Amino acid sequence: MTLDQITQKVSERYARAASTGEQMCCPTSYDMAELQSFIPEEVLKISYGCGTPAGLKTVSSGETVLDIGSGGGIDCFEASRLVGPTGHVIGIDMTDTMLAIARTHAPVVAANLGYASSNVEFRKGMADAMPVSDGTVDLIISNCVINLAPDKHKVFREMYRVAKQGGRFTISDIVADQPVPQYLVQDADKWGDCLSGALTLTGYIAGMAGAGFLGIHLVKASPWQVIDGIHFFSVTLTGYKLPTRSPQPDMQYATLRGPFSRVVDELGTTHLRGIPQLMTPDAVCLLSQTSLAAHFVLSSEPLWLDQTDDRWTAIYPADAPCTWQGHFAMLAGPFVEAADDDHHVYRRGEPVEICSKTLHVIETDGYAPHFAIINRAGQHVSGEAVTCAPNRSCC
């Protein structure tokens, strides 16, 4: 299929779903009781996606929010409530049926919220050519939609173009643990199911980084489907278009606290736990972002840490035998590479097989926010416990 054919088939399927009530992609877990207080039922029943709703917990009053693939408008209307009457919400969709439903109910939602007029507008457009001015959006959200775009790298570049300096995205989408083969790519129905268009986690994050976003990190991950051995799972990711000035201009050094023993940040700097690194203003700006700040101590003078310092963090595996249960860990940022204290090296998005001891480490609070975990074992694993050796013969 050509790119135009893919786009047409996806649009037709979503228009049909709006009329028939067909479920699309994976189910969300909206708080419908709350949303029903101001959003009409006709909008709620055609809400598709894989996030709940992506990114809106970070919204501030008066901000401008852009929803890519706004559908019937559910996430736009929730954003409308959160940004308040002084804020602005833009929804973009390519399907006329969805746009008509959203536009019809926008005045109703505004009245239910007590606004003098609606602060939401719905524009027809494509994700890879958005009808939005440069540098005007504080928060970009998207709920299982970019997956449907044939050229996702164009979408990522468009997102970076419309974001303000200091702006951010939080998007939910379906990714895969390995490249999707052509027999699925050419399956029109699987496109509508958010499967055929799935990038690998590595490819998805690399596309965002290539567009210019930094501080890209995982908010949430959950399994979705396994088809012919390919694991499809939902991820919610956040990243930033960094401001032009560092929020802490007097800071020149960064010292990695842990729990990783070594990390490589998105600007290519390698950090070893406890050893200060001289940083550029851009690097200080990056490491000041919420997703990275907890891992570093920023200082105006070099600061060394050791295990006697309360700021030093490390999580060691148990000194006991382990079992192999089919688990694979995928680093999902905010580092491009990281190492733990048991000789594992994780590169962003790449599955690494881990034993039961390493799984326990990764499930702790220091590590868990940064990893998506899948299990490739097709059935119960009954292997005996083994002893991990220093030469890495086990894990």
pLDDT of residue 144: 85
- Please report which residue ranges of 146-293 form alpha helices under DSSP H: 152-162, 182-185, 188-192, 201-211, 281-287, 290-293
149 lies in the same domain as 8:
yes
123 lies in the same domain as 193:
yes
Q: What is the pTM of this model?
A: 0.88
63 lies in the same domain as 181:
yes
Domain stops at, among 216, 240, 264: 240
Instruction: Give the Cα separation of 258 and 108 in Å (integer).
Output: 50
Residue 49's pLDDT band (boundaries 50, 70, 90)? low
Instruction: Give the Cα separation of 228 and 25 in Å (integer).
Output: 18
pLDDT of residue 357: 94
Residue 389's pLDDT band (boundaries 50, 70, 90)? low
297 lies in the same domain as 345:
no
CATH number of the domain that residue 28 is part of: 3.40.50.150
Residue 33's pLDDT band (boundaries 50, 70, 90)? confident
305 lies in the same domain as 330:
no
Higher pLDDT, 282 or 17: 282
Q: Which of 156-170, 177-191, 246-260, 266-280 has the lowest mean pLDDT?
A: 177-191
By percentage, how much of the chain surpasses pLDDT 70?
85
Beta strand 88-93 pairing with 64-68: parallel
Residue 280's pLDDT band (boundaries 50, 70, 90)? very high
What is the residue range of 368's domain?
Answer: 319-395
pLDDT of residue 57: 84
Higher pLDDT, 167 or 386: 167
Nearest to 257 by CA among 343, 315, 217: 315
Mean pLDDT along residues 173-188: 88
36 lies in the same domain as 53:
yes
Domain stops at, among 314, 332, 349: 314
209 lies in the same domain as 354:
no
CATH number of the domain that residue 337 is part of: 3.40.5.100
- pLDDT by residue (tens digit) across 219-263? 999 998 899 899 999 999 999 999 987 777 788 999 999 999 999
Q: What is the DSSP annotation of 47-60?
A: ---SSSSTTGGG--
30: which residues sit within 8 A by CB, 6+ positions away? 44, 47, 52, 53, 74
282 lies in the same domain as 148:
no
pLDDT of residue 41: 87
CATH number of the domain that residue 279 is part of: 3.40.5
Nearest to 39 by CA among 140, 141, 107: 107
Mean pLDDT along residues 277-282: 93
51 has a pLDDT exceeding 80: no
| Mean of pLDDT over the chain | 88
pLDDT of residue 115: 97
72 has a pLDDT exceeding 80: yes
- pLDDT by residue (tens digit) across 80-130? 999 999 999 999 999 899 999 999 999 999 999 999 999 999 999 999 999
Instruction: Give the Cα separation of 263 and 270 in Å (integer).
Output: 6
Based on the structure, what is the number of domains in the chain? 3
pLDDT of residue 59: 92
- pLDDT by residue (tens digit) across 317-373? 998 899 999 999 999 989 999 999 998 999 999 999 999 999 999 999 999 999 999
59 lies in the same domain as 83:
yes
Residue 393's pLDDT band (boundaries 50, 70, 90)? very low
Sheet harboring 262-264: ordered strands across?
270-272, 262-264, 337-339, 345-347
306 lies in the same domain as 327:
no
72 lies in the same domain as 196:
yes
Nearest to 232 by CA among 221, 247, 219: 221
36 lies in the same domain as 133:
yes
Domain stops at, among 314, 338, 371: 314
